[in-house]
Structures are given as C-alpha cells and as structure tokens.
Structure 1
Amino acid sequence: MPKTVGVIGMGYVGLTLTAALARKGYTVYGVDNSPHVVEALSNGRIHVYEPGVEEAFAEHLGSTIIISDRLPEERLDAAILSVSTPVDLSTGTPNLGNLAAAAEHVAERPETLVVVRSTVPIGTSRKVVLPALTARWGKARLVMAPERTIQGQALRELVELPQVIGGLDEESLQAGVEVFQGLANQIVPVSSLETAEMVKLSNNCHTDLIYAFGNEIALIAEQHGLDPLEVIRATNLDYPRPDLAKPGYVGGGCLSKDPYLMIASTTQRKPYLVGQARALNEQLPAHVAERVVELVRETVGHTEGVRLSVLGWAYKGWPATDDMRGTPIADMMPVFRAVGLTVLGHDPMVTDQIIREYGGEPVSLDKAFDADAMIVINDHPDYRALEVEPRLASSELRVLFDSWRILDEAAIVRHGVRYAGIGYTGKEVVA
C-alpha cells in the first residue's frame, strides 16, 4: 500500500526522491526552509536539472506532491531527512547543523519512522539525529538509507539500484524496508545505522580513488611524452583484472565532499588513500590550466589579451547537468586571470549569468571558435558531436586543449592547431 512521507530538504537528493516516490503512488510532503525554493516548487518551477523531475511535478503537484516550509501536523509513515551536509574544504570539517535542525523539526511532530538520507560521517545518525528524537519521544524508530544515484539518471536508478537500509533496531529496520519496498526493486538490509552510512561513503571514495589513479597515470605519462589513453587502452585490452579509468576531472556535490566525510569518520588513524586521492583530483584543474597557459605562450608568444574559449562550465557533461559544484573552472580561472587571458564561455546547460559570475564572457558555440585558444572541459554530447573541420577552416584558433580527447585530433592538427589533452602533449604542428 502506498505510503505518506515527508521529505525534508528539496535539494538534489530530496527533489529527485520526491519525484520518484510520487511516480510510484506515494503521497509526499516536500519541505524546505528556503522561501524561494518553496515558492518556486509550489508553482512547478524546478530549480535543479534532472530528466523527469519537471514532468513528475507537472503530473503530481497539488495532489500527491505538496510543498511547504514545514511538515504537516498529522502522522506520517516516515520522515526522510535529505538536507545538505556541507564540508569546509579549507579544514575538511563537516557541518551537520542542517541535519540537527531537520531532526529537531521532525521531533516536534507526531512520532514516526525517521530516515536519514543525507550523506554523513559514520556514527552521525546515532549521535546527532537519535538524541533529538528520543528527547521528545522517549524512543525512536530510525534508519539510514543512503542515496547512491548518478546525476542524469536519478529517477531510473532510485528504482533500479539496490536500496541499502540499516536500522537502529529490528523494528526500525522492518519499518524502513516497508517504506522503500514500494520504490526500489531490491532492498539490502544491513546490520546497523553505521554500516549503511559507511556503504555510501565507500561507494564514493572508491570512485574517487579509481579516477585518481587514471589521473596519476596521465601525469606520469605527461612527464615522458607518452599518450595516457594509449597506455590505458593497452593495459585494459582483454586483461582480466579491473579496468583502469581514463583521466579526467572529478567534481560534483558528492565526490568533492564525501572523502572528507570518510576522513572525519576516523579517530585513531586517518586513511592512507582517501585523502591522497582527493588531493590529486583537486589539483588536476589548476595543473591543466597551467599547461594551457604554457601552450599559449609557446604557440602565440604571449598571454596578455589572448582570447581563450572554455567549452563546458558544469562539472561534467554526461549525463548532462547544470551542476557547478566542484567544477574545474573554479580552480582554473585564477590561473587564467593571473596571466591576462580573456576567457569566453559556452555550456549547453549553464546560464550566461553563471558564466559571468565565474568570470567568463558568454558566447555561442560558433563564436567560441573565433578565439586564439580553446579548452574543452566537459564531454557534453554537443561537444562530442562537434565537426571541427568546417569550423577551423575560417578560425584563427592556435591551441586546442581537449580534456576528454573527444575531438578529431588529426583534423585539428591538419589545420595548424596545437592539440593536447590531460597528460598528453600532442604532436607538434608542422608549419
């Protein structure tokens, strides 16, 4: 039987969960403390890009999706906490204030099952959420049910990915299973709140590690003038051990934050690998920016006033997103500004206003090729489909840094343009 639930926090996690639950017949009270978010969602204006969410709200808003700044007074089957748990990246310290406030808000209502959906350091559900509930209710039913979707595929993955659930006790666990079995195809009960918390952190830290090793290979190949993609392809081909990842930027709201939450979960001994992998991935954008500057100097002869087009401002291109959290351009712009480059910007998903806020001048894709140099930062399908030959025929482009190696290198070099990529110095252009 479909449930009636409250979802506290209408950021990416809460919004996509609300849409997915409504499509499965749940009645969902979506709650946010931002008047702007409440007003926009109440009128069907979705502030986060994710395929299918806008359509779900158009169909269910006002009937089985109700948006407010507070939970209803009546009893719910569950209250799901999906608020942000930001990290101060200068210190690595997580801020759990939003979660504590959400727990207090739920505790003011009739007793219900409480689900922690936010990503948290191990032990947080028990140490931060549980005391707020027991102080008001005397006892509590509490589960941790982490969100593990990828942006661009969230509504599908909320159903298809196994839903891990850890409970405070057996009663809590069974209640959590009952809530989520109407949404997810597979439920994975685990033995504790802490186990479920660590599952989420393990997923994302492992992904960060995998990407970091691909970037490590690229940086070593760069020192030897080798092609890292050739190395990785040959390494992986018909070899039965785990594949190496291609080099690339690692950003977004999860991978740029969750390793710090894992580190914050430890006491006696800090992790050996998690912090190092994160540091390497965080250093890559600035390293690439410095390489672009070097190439411009070598090819143009100077940097002051040189026009650089940046294609791709969101942190990733596929699945497509407008998310700027952890975007590479944030660490690249100080490098570009310091040497006097004029930065032009294009992204199919990101607004002109955002590009300006980061210091770029928005241009069309055609006008982007009027620049002296170009860097392709993400692999949006529009960029993957680019036919560079006709655009370069009338272009003055001298340098093209293709971060994801998605463009036609031979055609680019044929037009006298210096081509390079992450860890790849490219072939010298013959004048």
Structure 2
Amino acid sequence: MNRVAIIGMGYVGLTLAAAMARKGYEVHGVDTQPAVLESLARGKPHIFEPGVAEVFAEHIGKNIFIAPELPAGGVDAAIISVSTPVDEATHEPYLANLAAAAEHVAQRCAPDTLVVVRSTVPVGTSREVVLPPLVRAWGSARLVMAPERTIQGNALRELVELPQVVGGLDAESLKLGLRLFDRLSRQLVPVSTLETAELVKLTNNCHTDVIYSFGNEIAMLTERLGLDPLEVIRATNLDYPRPDIARPGYVGGGCLSKDPYIMLSGAGRSGHVPRLIGAARTLNEELPVHVAHRVVELMREHGGSTLTVLGWAYKGSPPTDDMRGTPIATMMPVFQAAGIRVLGHDPLVRDDVIRSYGGEPIELAAAFRDTDAVLVITDHPEYRGLDLATALAGSRVRLVYDSWRILCAAEITARGVRYAGLGFEPEVSA
C-alpha cells in the first residue's frame, strides 16, 4: 500500500496528499481544474494551509505527481476526496462529483485496487453511489470509508495525531484500509460498516455545530437582557464538571456550513428528522444577518455610512483564506440595502475576492482612518495585536463592533467610541 492516488485536490485531498508524501507514500493527485493542476505541478498549492506549500515544494516530481486522470499503471489505493456541496436552495447534497470519480476509478484501476471514500456523504452513499460502478466494471470491489476530520490550520498535524476511523465493505476491505492508513495515523479505529464510518464524520461536525449554537443562543438572550454573555459563560464553566458552554461566534467553513444538511438529507430518507441539528444550523446561519442589522442600527444611532470590516474568511484562528460559509456573504446584502459603503481587510484573503463580495480593499494601517464604524468578524492574530491608540488617533470612528471581543473595550470607550460585541451592547455612559 505505497502507491496511492487522491482524486480531488480541494482542501481534503490537498492536505492528505501532503501528509502522505511526507510519510513516504508515492502520491498521484488528480483534479479536473486546469488552474489547480498547473499551480500544483509547479509546487504551488492553490489553498492556504500551514506547511502544505513547503511539502509540495520539496516533494513535487519526486513522490507527488499531479495529473488530470489516474495513472495508467494503476495504484494500490484510490482515495476519493471530491467536493460534495449542498444546493443553496434545497440544501440537498450534490453527489455527481462523487459518482464521476467512482466511474473514473472503475475505468482506470483494477479489482485489486482499494477504493477509499474520504468525501463527506449522506449515510449509505458509499454503498449506493460509489460501489455500483466498481462492481459493474470489476465484478467485485474492495471499498472502505475513511472520513477526514481535521481542522483548518492544523491539518498536517491532525492527519497524523487524530484517530483514523475506517469502515469496510467486508473484512478484506477493512484489513486493507487499516494497512493503508497504518503508516500515516498514530491510532486506527476500525468500525463494522461503511455506514458507521459515514455517520461518525457527520456526528462529529453536527455535534460541533450544536455546541456552537448553544453559545449563540445565550448571546441572543444576553443582548436583550443587557447582560454580558462572556461573563455568564465564564461563570457557568468555571470549575464545573459538566461540558463547557462555547463562547458565541460565527460558524462557517466548508464542513459545518454543509454537513448538517448532509446529515439531514440521509436521515430524512430513513424516516427520521433530526430536529435539534436543523434548529442549530438555522440559528448559526441567522447570526451574521442579525449582527449586520444590529450594526446598521447602531450606525444610524451614532451617524455615518462607511463601515470597515476586518476579517473576510470564515474564521481567523487558526488563520485561513477559506471563504466557504463566511459571515460576510449574508451580511453584505444587509449593508448594501442600508446604503453603507463597506471597506474590507483580511490578512490572507486576496483583494479581488474582497471586491467580488462587494467590498473595497483597504490596508490595515488605514482601516480606522477613513471610516465611521469598524466590524471585527474574525479573531485573526493580527487583529488581536492592534495598537488601538494609534488606530483611533485622529479617527472619525464612532462604533466598534468586536464580534469576538478581542479588542480592549475600555481603551475604545475611553476615546468616546461605542463598543459592542456578540450579545453584548453595554449602555453608553452619559
């Protein structure tokens, strides 16, 4: 199990390719996008993830090879990591990429190839979508589901340190799957079926979404009660032996913004509707819109029509340039409807991406200078280290909405500037 192919060079496939190459596997990356192929062939990853660029620069052409199709000589294992997005209107998962990848594997590989599903899918998909083309072509197949469960910003470390769950079509498939990942992961967790492994991934991410939604629920309540959600949560958690309450915050990214819908889709076909999961996702999606309306209202109270938004990626810690599930996507229509001019900065997001969302790129040094209000969306380390005395000196800023509460409120209010955060809108001193 040394010669592997990874079909789909998105975030999941890219990071897995880097991690496996670093462990000595011969990795063949496959993708259909010419720009991705061209960039990776030069050893230049198209996605930011700490450590990946260095691995590609060192291993491309040695034990990392990039092509638009699987190698003619076959591979020991073909790992499918294509995207499985959900439809924006129906929230149903789009599985055509997965089906096409399975057909390609069936055409280019042999029955002794181990096929691994790594994409996030509704329960039952590996058996219902991936297996049939393999059996039609080969008569039988060796198939496992081995979900990816890393966090952006720490993927290369977690691919090694996190337990790798593996579920097989049969005992032989499971044995081969465990052998494949044995060199990569420190701990292997065999489970009894493909479906069990599929549900493990969905359970992880849906549980996370629910946990975050509870912190956001508390923030919605404290905003109306005039209380501080961080004080409530800090006192709730301190030396208390039950699970900690999460602090409020935006919940986005490529996984948490879609995996609950993938769970709901598969569960619906089984006759059960997971109400808690749906409610949590709804609350987390409504939060950015709620904040945008509050910012507009507060700006009307304090005057001005220019807003600087700090943080356009979906999160800032660990840092990423990923725009999937970003809060700004649903905030911008609110700002535009209110006639607010939006300036934007993000340490990793390109200027052309900021423009594509309707913002005007601005340097951080000028972010507080020519604006009436500042909205901090992410807790990026660069924002945590802001020199507020310099930033606010001579500024016309009248409002700072600090979503993650990473700035010094006292230093801001001492300059006569209104300070607010998620669920926290203290009264202005007379």
TM-score (norm 1): 0.97
1:117-166 Cα distance to aligned partner (Å, 9 max, x none): 00000000000000010000000000000000000100000000000000
Aligned mates of 1:387, 1:243 — CA distance in 2: 32
1:39-70 Cα distance to aligned partner (Å, 9 max, x none): 11111121000011111111110010000000
Give how far 1:429 is off: 4.2
Find runs of 4+ consecutive structure 1 residues off by over 3 angstroms. none
Q: Aligned residues: percent identity?
A: 66
The residue aligned with 1:390 is 390
Aligned mates of 1:366, 1:35 — CA distance in 2: 37
Aligned mates of 1:272, 1:93 — CA distance in 2: 16
Matching of residue 128 in structure 1 with residue 129 in structure 2: yes
- Structure 2 letter corresponding to 1:404: W
Secondary structure of 1:400 counterpart? strand
The residue aligned with 1:312 is 311
Give how far 1:394 is off: 1.7
Matching of residue 276 in structure 1 with residue 279 in structure 2: yes
Secondary structure of 2:6 counterpart? strand
Secondary structure of 1:28 counterpart? strand
The residue aligned with 1:53 is 52
Q: Match for 1:294 among 266, 290, 297? A: 297
**Gap regions ≥5 residues in structure 1:** none
1:344-395 Cα distance to aligned partner (Å, 9 max, x none): 0011011111111111111111211021101000000000111212321221
The residue aligned with 1:30 is 29
Matching of residue 380 in structure 1 with residue 386 in structure 2: no
Q: How does 1:405-420 map to 2 (within 5 A)?
A: 405-420=405-420
Give how far 1:427 is off: 3.5
1:273-304 Cα distance to aligned partner (Å, 9 max, x none): 0110000000000100000011111111xx5x
Give how far 1:75 is off: 2.8
Aligned mates of 2:56, 2:300 — CA distance in 1: 51
- Structure 2 letter corresponding to 1:119: T
After alignment, is 192-201 or 359-368 more displaced?
359-368
- Structure 2 letter corresponding to 1:365: L
The residue aligned with 2:83 is 84
Aligned mates of 1:81, 1:396 — CA distance in 2: 52
- Structure 1 letter corresponding to 2:211: I
User: Is the CA contact (8 Å cut-off) linking 1:398 and 1:417 kept in structure 2?
Assistant: yes
Secondary structure of 1:143 counterpart? strand
Q: How does 1:172-191 map to 2 (within 5 A)?
A: 172-191=173-192
Secondary structure of 2:275 counterpart? coil
Aligned mates of 1:205, 1:279 — CA distance in 2: 12
1:184-205 Cα distance to aligned partner (Å, 9 max, x none): 0000000000000000000000
Q: How does 1:191-206 map to 2 (within 5 A)?
A: 191-206=192-207
User: Is the CA contact (8 Å cut-off) linking 1:402 and 1:419 kept in structure 2?
Assistant: yes
- Structure 2 letter corresponding to 1:97: A
User: Is the CA contact (8 Å cut-off) linking 2:50 and 2:153 kept in structure 1?
Assistant: yes
Matching of residue 105 in structure 1 with residue 104 in structure 2: yes
User: Is the CA contact (8 Å cut-off) linking 1:163 and 1:184 kept in structure 2?
Assistant: yes
Aligned mates of 2:356, 2:35 — CA distance in 1: 20
- Structure 1 letter corresponding to 2:2: K
- Structure 1 letter corresponding to 2:297: E
Aligned mates of 1:35, 1:342 — CA distance in 2: 36
- Structure 2 letter corresponding to 1:248: G
User: Is the CA contact (8 Å cut-off) linking 1:419 and 1:427 kept in structure 2?
Assistant: no
The residue aligned with 1:346 is 345
Matching of residue 150 in structure 1 with residue 161 in structure 2: no
The residue aligned with 1:141 is 142
Aligned mates of 1:272, 1:360 — CA distance in 2: 36
The residue aligned with 1:226 is 227
What is the RMSD computed on CA atoms of the aligned residues?
A: 0.9
Q: How does 1:415-430 map to 2 (within 5 A)?
A: 415-430=415-430
User: Is the CA contact (8 Å cut-off) linking 1:249 and 1:281 kept in structure 2?
Assistant: yes
- Structure 2 letter corresponding to 1:390: T
- Structure 1 letter corresponding to 2:298: L
Aligned mates of 1:357, 1:426 — CA distance in 2: 34
**Gap regions ≥5 residues in structure 2:** none
1:231-284 Cα distance to aligned partner (Å, 9 max, x none): 100100111100000000000000000000000111312111011000000000
User: Is the CA contact (8 Å cut-off) linking 1:222 and 1:423 kept in structure 2?
Assistant: yes
- Structure 2 letter corresponding to 1:392: L
1:77-123 Cα distance to aligned partner (Å, 9 max, x none): 10000000010131111110000000000001222000000000000
Aligned mates of 2:27, 2:155 — CA distance in 1: 17
